[in-house]
Each structure stands twice: as C-alpha cells, then as structure tokens.
C-alpha cells in the first residue's frame, strides 16, 4: 500500500485578528484558497484604508493555484480579491449572491478581464486536482453562506465558514443540520471552526429578535427614523424595508456601498423591495418627517460615512433634528468602540434619540456562541480541531470549548498567520512559519508601510508638525535668512510668542555650533537642528511634534 501524502494548511489572515480571512490548502503540486478578505484598520493605523493578507506565498507558488472558494459575501472574506488579482489569477467559486457582490467589487476596481467567477450552490460537487469539494448551507448575517467540505485521500477537512444556528430564520433557508451530521458520520479528520463569538455563553439570538425591537422602535418614532447598518447585512436591510412598509414610510438611502448592494441584492431576488418605496435622498423634504426612513452607512464610525457626516453636520442633505430617532443596528468591530462612541455622543448632542446594541436590542450577531460551537463539533466529530477567524483570545477560548466536548488537548491546534500546519491521518501540527508581513492599502498603493511611517502619522495626529526654514551661506558660515518656524496641528500654547522666539534662538545656536565643528552638509545641519528643537519642546511644553527643518544653501 502506497504511503499517503500530507496536506498543508497555511492561514494568511484571520488567525491573529477579526478580519482579512484567507486560508491556503496545498497538496503536492495543487493549491486552493478559501476566502480572501480585508480588515478595516483602527486609529492605530492613520491614513490606512484596509489591511490585506500577504500574498507572497501565493505568488511564489502561483503555478500550483487551481481555485479560490468563497464562503460568503462579507468584506472580510471577499474584499482582498481585487488586490490578489493584481498578482495572480484563478477561477472563483461562489454562491449566487456572493458571486454578484464579487463581480461588483471587481468592477469597482476596473478588473474586467481574465477573471472567471463560477456560480455554485450547496448541492454542487467540485473536483479540483486532488480535492473533492462539497458544501453545506449555514445561517449567517448575509444570505447564501456556506461551509466547505474538502475530501482528499489523506482525509476530510471541514471549514465552517462564518455561521450561527438560527433555527427560525426570517428570510432564506436554515442551516443544513442533517447534511453536516452526514459528513460527520463519514469521518472528518479536521474541523476549522469560526471563533468570533467563542467568548459568548449560550446561543446567539435569532434575527427575529431584531425584528421585534425594530417594530417597537418604529412604532415609538415621532419623526424620521435613521438606521445605520452594514451594507452587506441583507436580512437587516429587508427588515428595515418591511418596517418602513408597515408604517407607510418612504425609504431614502445614504451611502454608495448601500445603494450598490441593494441594487445587486434586489436584481438577484435576495431583497423584496416594495413598489415605489425608495426615494432619492434629495426628495426627503417633500414628505412629512414621520413618513421618512433613512438607511445609512457608518456603523463603525468611518470618517467618510453618511452617519458620521450627519453627526458632524456636514451631510449635504440631512441635518440631525430633535425628532430624529437614530438606530445603529450593528456591533462594534474590535478597535472601533471609541469612534462609534464619539458618533453616538455627537448625535445625542444634536438632539437625536440614539439607540444601539447594548441598550436597545437592535442588533444580533451572525456568529455562533459557545453552545452552537459545541453543536457543530458534535455534528462533525473531527479528530483534530483548529480554531479560525479570531485573535488569540478567541482561538484559545474556542479550543477550550472543543476540550469540553471531548477533543483531546493534543489534537487542538492554536495556529497563527503564516503557520504551515501539516496534516495526515495521524498528525496535525505546525511545522514552521513563513513569516507573513502586514500589508496596508493606502490610497491607490499597497504594501508593507514602514513602522516609521505609521509612527510619524501618529505623531502628526497627536502633536502636530513644526516646519522650520533657515537660509545659510555655507562658504561664509553665516545665516542670511533668519529661522522661520510654522506650527501646525498644535493646540494652544501659553506664552506662544516666547516659545517661538526661543525656538529661533535654538536654531541659530545650533547652526553656529555646526559651523564651529566644520559641519556644512545641509542634511547634517537639519538633523542636528531637529534634535535640539525636539528636546526643547518635549521639556518645555511636553509635546513631540514631527519637526521638518529645511536648509536653503547659498
């Protein structure tokens, strides 16, 4: 009997954070990818639009890449595809709605050629190289979500995708419990299981709970109802439409991503939009306040979102008034809590009645809590267990849940991004790490921004910048243009004129010190002046701004 080969699992994202989920499965000369997402940065990454996985391993092994399988259409699972396709190409397999959202995203990035997006459903079977791939339907906060079953001669690997066990879904079909159990009966070597809500006891509440809360809030509203939710939360958008229809309200949409998603979901039949309900945002003043619902982006405090612009009175069409009810129907992504709290406070200051998850029950998660994770493990009955989709505390907690239901501790693998997990019928362990980098999308470019760049951005946002210009005659060793200092982004400083005068004296003294020591290279003088100014400002007014000195040589 020939010796069976091993499979390598290499997580490129989603194992050290919530977001940018991406998993590579490799067997011999064949490789497939599950998901390719982005992560939205918090305030620790000023100026960064997204964080994406490091594709270096894939580009080095592009000849092996056979397919990309997508579990569902959330940004943290599809948002990285346009950036991946700048490096490599491979056919995509996704369910109907997910396919539509992927095609929308690729069009936004003007990727029109060379991409093959194949539609699949939960009953399809794909034969790709040594992998036989099947699917099972799961409940999540977006329709058409699936788990993935990968069968090989080594054994069967099950990827849960993002899931929860909503046994009475408001829209769409429920989780295929019997199918999951049947795969478990056939024997599963490894379960890769969603860890996002592994710290939550009990069961995740069903979507119907939000429907009841929205019904109550809509009935109490005295004026406009403004609801912020994720643009991809189709079930929630449908509920808002249903409530608006029930209370005979028109619905206006503020946010480009919402408009595009609603258009796609409506065309594909995943949203039932009542006739003549949706009105342009510039028509809202034509209707009584009580007859208007506004659906908006901005649940995570994004500075360019519709809700943020309303909060800071910069929205072109909507000004918050005292009769407004604002419902934030989403939970904070870790790291965004402060930004969301700021928006809530600004909305309240402007007179709005603001309702959010922790006080009003207007959101439920799309991820499994502890009892649902136990149920998934008991249905699948895997030999090995690998927590996915979370940072270390989520994964460790998920491992403890697996331990509770009988998975031996030595069969639970807590891995990190870049780990190479080697698997065969008698082994599941991390063999090495490929040292993935953090890749930032910054404007139109992307790459691994140096730590010094991020450090400078943080300093700029916190302590501002000092620009210093001085003209020097390097031959005569004289200052022909006196130091000219400009302070930007720095809060009020007592005795500011005296501080400026002292800074100019420090620049002049520093220049003379350089000449005395025969230092005449402009870059050397600039660095010395910067160091002296920085020490003075830290000591005198306790700030550390970015200091830029420019020597104008004569």
Residues annotated as catalytic (active site), given as ranges: 194, 367
Any bridge partners for residue 553, and if so which?
A: 472
498's tokens: 């005296």
Question: Would the CA dihedral through 190, 21, 414, 138 be positive or negative?
Answer: negative
Give the neighbor-by-neighbor strand order of the sheet with 439-442. Answer: 50-52, 439-442, 445-447
DSSP 61: T
Q: What is the CA radius of gyration of the chain?
A: 28
Strand, coil or helix: what is 468?
strand
Please give the full DSSP string across 2-23, using - where no structure is assigned: PPP--EEEEEEESSSBSS--EE
CA distances from 466 to 386, 395, 496 (A): 50, 45, 13
Residue 404 falls in which region: left (phi positive, over 0), alpha (psi -120 to 50) or beta: alpha
Among candidate residues 56, 141, 148, 15, the one with its CA nearest the CA of residue 93: 148
Phi and psi (nearest 5°) for 133? Answer: -115, 125
Torsion angle in degrees (nearest 10) through CA of 359, 361, 366, 368: 80
DSSP 93: E
CA distances from 71 to 23, 94, 95, 114, 161 (A): 11, 7, 8, 22, 6
Question: Would the CA dihedral through 355, 258, 208, 279 be positive or negative?
Answer: positive
DSSP 426: T
Angle (deg, nearest 10), helices 208-220 and 234-246: 40
Alpha carbon distance 30, 32 (integer Å):
7
With beta carbons less than 8 A apart as the criterion, state whether 44 and 12 touch: no
DSSP 164: B
Q: Which residues contact 450 (CB under 8 A, 6 or more apart)?
A: none
With beta carbons less than 8 A apart as the criterion, state whether 138 and 161 touch: yes
Residue matched to tokens 């997402």: 37
Any bridge partners for residue 488, and if so which?
A: 465
Residue 400: count other Cβ atoms within 10 Å of its Cβ: 14
Start-to-end Cα distance in the chain: 83
Strand, coil or helix: what is 536?
helix
Among candidate residues 39, 32, 43, 33, the one with its CA nearest the CA of residue 14: 39
Helices and strands (H and E) in the chain: how many:
16, 26
């Amino acid at each position: 009997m020939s010796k069976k080969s091993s499979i390598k699992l290499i997580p490129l994202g989603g194992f050290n954070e919530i977001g940018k989920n991406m998993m590579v499965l490799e067997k011999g000369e064949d490789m497939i990818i599950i998901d390719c997402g982005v992560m939205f940065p918090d305030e620790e990454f000023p100026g960064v639009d997204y964080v994406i996985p490091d594709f270096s391993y894939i580009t080095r092994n592009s000849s092996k890449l056979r397919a990309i399988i997508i579990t569902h259409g959330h940004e943290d699972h599809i948002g990285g595809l346009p950036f991946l396709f700048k490096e490599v190409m491979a056919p995509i397999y996704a369910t109907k709605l997910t396919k539509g959202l992927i095609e929308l995203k690729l069009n936004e990035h003007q990727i029109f050629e060379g991409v093959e997006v194949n539609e699949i459903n939960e009953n399809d079977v794909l034969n790709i190289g040594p992998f036989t791939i099947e699917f099972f339907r799961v409940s999540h906060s977006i329709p058409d979500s699936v788990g993935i079953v990968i069968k090989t001669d080594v054994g069967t690997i099950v990827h849960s995708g993002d899931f929860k066990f909503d046994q009475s879904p408001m829209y769409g079909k429920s989780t295929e419990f019997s199918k999951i159990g049947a795969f478990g009966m056939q024997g599963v070597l490894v379960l890769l299981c969603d860890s996002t809500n592994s710290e939550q006891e009990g069961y995740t509440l069903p979507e119907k709970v939000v429907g009841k809360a929205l019904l109550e809030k809509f009935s109490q509203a005295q004026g406009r109802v403004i609801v912020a939710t994720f643009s991809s939360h189709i079930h929630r958008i449908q509920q808002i439409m249903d409530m608006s229809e029930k209370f005979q309200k028109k619905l206006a949409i503020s946010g480009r991503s919402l408009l595009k998603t609603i258009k796609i979901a409506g065309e594909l039949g995943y949203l039932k939009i009542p006739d003549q309900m949706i009105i342009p945002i510039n028509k809202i003043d034509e209707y009584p306040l009580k007859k208007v619902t506004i659906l908006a982006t901005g649940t995570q405090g994004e500075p360019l979102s519709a809700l943020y612009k309303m909060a800071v009175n910069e929205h072109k069409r909507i000004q918050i008034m005292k009769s407004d009810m604002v419902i934030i129907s989403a939970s904070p992504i870790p790291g965004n809590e402060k930004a969301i709290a700021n928006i809530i406070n600004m909305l309240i200051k402007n007179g709005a009645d603001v309702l959010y998850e922790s006080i009003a029950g207007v959101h439920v998660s799309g991820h499994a809590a502890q009892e649902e994770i136990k149920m998934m493990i008991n249905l699948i009955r895997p030999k090995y267990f690998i927590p996915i989709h979370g940072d270390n505390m989520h994964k460790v907690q998920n491992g403890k849940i697996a331990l509770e239901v009988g998975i031996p501790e030595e069969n639970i693998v807590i891995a990190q991004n870049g780990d190479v997990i080697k698997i065969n019928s008698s082994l599941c362990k991390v063999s090495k790490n490929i040292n993935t980098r953090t890749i930032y999308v910054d404007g139109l470019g992307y790459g691994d921004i140096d730590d010094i760049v991020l450090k400078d951005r943080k300093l700029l946002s916190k302590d501002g910048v000092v620009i210093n210009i001085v003209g020097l005659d390097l031959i005569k060793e004289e200052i022909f243009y006196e130091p000219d200092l400009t302070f930007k982004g720095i809060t009020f400083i007592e005795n500011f004129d005296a501080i400026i005068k002292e800074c100019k004296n420090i620049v002049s003294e520093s220049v003379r010190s350089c000449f005395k020591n025969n230092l005449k290279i402009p870059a050397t003088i600039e660095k010395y002046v910067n160091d002296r100014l920085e020490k003075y400002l830290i000591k005198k007014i306790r700030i550390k701004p970015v200091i830029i000195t420019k020597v104008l040589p004569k």
